[in-house]
Structure formats: C-alpha cells, structure tokens
Amino acid sequence: MTTIETGNAALAGAATRGWLVGDLAAWAAQRGEAFDAGSTPRQSDRVQVKWYVHPPGHVRECWAERDAHWSLGVLVSGRMRFGFRALGETMRRIELTEQGDYVLWHGPSWEHTWATESGCTILTVRWPAEARR
C-alpha cells in the first residue's frame, strides 16, 4: 500500500456514493464489484469520510435508519436542512447555512433526513459509536 495519495475527493468517491475513506472493499462487495483493499490508505474500518456535492433540489425522501455510528456533517458551501427524530419524539430541524456550520449526531439514537434547495457541498465523517472515548 502507498503511504501517500493525492486526488480529488469527488472523483475518488464517485464509485462509493461520495464516501472517500471507509470500508471501501465492503461497499464494493455489496455492489458485486472487486476492490483491492491494500491499494489505498483510504481503506478503513474505523473512520468513514464522505465528500458530496448535492445538486439543487436534492432531497432524501425516506428516513435514514439508526446506525452504529457518530456522524459529523460539515457544510462546505450552500445550505442544507436536516431532520432528526428519536423514538417517540417529534422531529427536530437543523439548518446549516454558513461555511463551517456542522451537525453531530449519535446514529444509534437518531434517524435522519436532509434536503437542499439550492444545492450544497458537505463533508461527512463517521466513526463507530463505541469508539467515542
């Protein structure tokens, strides 16, 4: 494996829905594709990083189910609205409007959805919930 790699986040993550660092081999396998896990230092089962450019009007129609991760979304440009709901609670809305605005959530506790009217670029980082300490 190489110890240094350069590239473009959007291009490098194109085959994995924007995920740039993470278990790229597992994601490829889910799609029936081959991936050499030793070919890049971006392969990780401890942290996941996503760079995503959302087009105008992009909406997640259904709720993303709770998962086993902490997630941190950092706005790079544009505006993005998130909705969060915990079991038995009303939905909580959070809007990221300024570069650097972020939202951090505990995946085991919250389902989420999102929308962007004008489009945006967002960097998302996820790590296992049990690895917080």
Where do the domains of the chain lie, and which CATH numbers do they carry? 8-44 (no CATH), 46-133 (2.60.120.10)
Per-residue confidence (pLDDT) for residue 3, from 0 to 100: 62
Map tokens 């278990």 to a residue.
23
Inter-CA distances, 131 with 8, 109, 119, 127, Å? 28, 16, 32, 7
Question: Looking at this protein, which amino acid is placed at residue 66?
Answer: R
In this predicted structure, which of 45-49, 57-61, 113-117 has the lowest mean pLDDT?
45-49
In this predicted structure, which of 16-25, 48-57, 95-104, 121-130 has the lowest mean pLDDT?
16-25
Map tokens 């086993």 to a residue.
68
Between 18 and 64, residue with greater pLDDT: 64
Region 49-74 average pLDDT: 94
